[in-house]
Chains A and B, each alone.
Chain A
């Protein structure tokens, strides 16, 4: 009889979980890193996906872990300063506090690729776990060579580009990888206001900016008056305003997971100089698979100065070839907010449907087992 009681209890729990799915009461946990106020395209992508689901009525919870090793508990800075209050105001929970982060079967936990330890630690959790993969370097650097994602029970992944999907499948071919396209936020765009003579510089390495600016002034003293503006550490709003204001952007991020900043600069009407990243993405290529003219590409910072001087002179003379902007159109139009929203909502709806079906199947099997137990008990009598 204890078996029947156990089965009834399990069936009751799973029925509750089915009800949660039906009522969108299941938690969608997004494990996020704290960049301490620094902008990150990869983190913005995660927040954007979470926000779409939150707006769709899902119970989204952003979870993070603060470091409590020291005397003072570390404060979570979050994304309010750079991504905006609409994202910072999503419900956030510190997993240290354990409040609000109780996990049940119908919940889904999204884990960014950098957290391979979290993948391992959550292996036995009852919820569905889905990895978010944007940066291959993080997989290579964080995973021990003796393990794979499959060993941690990770079977489902969402990623942002076709190239990333292919790359991941090449190492873990058993994964179900779904592409959810990224998009460029509407805050990036142009107005009729004419451009100022400012060269924006986007780089994670402060040395790059010095190596760009000083030799440029030495080589082209006639342009010593040209202002270079470092956009690192800016809030998203200021970043967007600065891009809109300036006329040229030099983008240097060889390890970029996607290259959001370059497209944001194009959308803001900038002529973009791009340092060729280690991994090329669809937007960077033309129809023949060559680097597209949407950016003025360079692979050596010491060789960019001459082209920069030519483009500055062209801007001053209004003689920038229209082909530069025409080539940007394809890259700018590849991604849209509506498309991303549709993709993530359809994906999660499907995950929840599948989850519900598997729960119903569990109940059916449990009922069968219960009947068998009852029948067995009857036979004994």
Chain B
């Protein structure tokens, strides 16, 4: 059986602001004491917050032009020394039994390289409001006939459904690196592309552990998804989905860029 010592948690942190220190503390407190945490940042952090004094927390900094979420995650993964790792967003938390459940379910489902939790989704628009439960994430594979095997995300199911929450999940580091990690030049659908690529290149499906393992906030101001929601139009969104399907057959990043169509000129 696995132990927590085989797992590392990565917290990607872009444009750190002391205002989020409490949330970061809260997130890291949800990680069991025997699991190491890597904060992957685009700059060195101020070590005054209580979290950063925690001895199991280390930092990986990347002062380059590519400060995307994907690149920060990949940077964190490089520093991982364990077989497994998970990605924690600074405003989310793990449930107390998630890692224990991972060990139990993984032991009997060893053929998978990625294990998703069921996610409790809360609407967190505005930091001081009472959060409202809005539903579950990653739950769909437990519906009958969603995929070939109950609880499993396979290629067929990804054809029709892409609304998954990959943070909080636990990944096999070796497989992650073998297939090339997250692609930073793909916007909006980079997780979707990663999941498809995992299946295409590694032939492995994704198992959803039927336990709530992660609590995720939706609609946080300044979050990447909110940013995409505000800035990406329907045509671009469709482009990224098509791109994800196409690019998922390639390990390496290729030159992908969305070029908006020029407005049609009226004929005289």
Among A196, A224, A225, A317, which residue has its beta carbon within 8 angstroms of that of B95? A317
Closest to B134 in A: A222
Residues 98-147 (chain A) with a chain B CB within 8 angstroms: none
Proximity bits, B106-142, A CB within 8 Å = 1, else 0: 0110000000001000000000000000011001101
Determine if B49 is an interface residue (Cβ-Cβ < 8 Å). Answer: no
Complex Cα distance, B101 from A315, in Å, reads 12
Residues 286-314 (chain A) with a chain B CB within 8 angstroms: none
Residues 163-211 (chain A) with a chain B CB within 8 angstroms: 192-198
Among A197, A198, A222, A318, which residue has its beta carbon within 8 angstroms of that of B97? A318
Determine if B144 is an interface residue (Cβ-Cβ < 8 Å). Answer: yes
Closest to A245 in B: B150
Give chain A residues whose Cβ lies under 8 Å from the Cβ of B107: 192
Determine if B211 is an interface residue (Cβ-Cβ < 8 Å). Answer: yes
Main secondary structure of the interface of B (DSSP, over half): mixed
Complex Cα distance, B210 from A194, in Å, reads 10
- Asked, given contacts A225-B136, A316-B212, A317-B212, whether A194 binds B143 with beta carbons under 8 Å apart, the answer is no
Determine if A226 is an interface residue (Cβ-Cβ < 8 Å). Answer: yes
Q: How many residues of B contact A (CB 8 A)?
A: 21
Shortest CB distance A42–B (Å): 31
Determine if A227 is an interface residue (Cβ-Cβ < 8 Å). Answer: yes
A226 touches B108 (CB 8 A): no
Give chain B residues whose Cβ lies under 8 Å from the Cβ of A192: 104, 107-108
Shortest CB distance A248–B (Å): 12
Determine if B105 is an interface residue (Cβ-Cβ < 8 Å). Answer: yes
Determine if B151 is an interface residue (Cβ-Cβ < 8 Å). Answer: yes
- Asked, given contacts A225-B142, A316-B210, A317-B212, whether A196 binds B150 with beta carbons under 8 Å apart, the answer is yes
B105 touches A194 (CB 8 A): yes
Give chain B residues whose Cβ lies under 8 Å from the Cβ of A196: 142, 150-151, 210
Other CB < 8 Å A-B pairs besides A196-B142, A226-B143, 20 of them?
Answer: A192-B108, A194-B101, A194-B105, A194-B108, A195-B210, A197-B210, A222-B136, A224-B143, A225-B136, A225-B142, A225-B146, A227-B142, A227-B143, A227-B144, A315-B210, A316-B210, A316-B212, A318-B95, A318-B101, A318-B211
- Chain A residues proximal to chain B, CB less than 8 Å: 192-198, 222, 224-227, 315-318
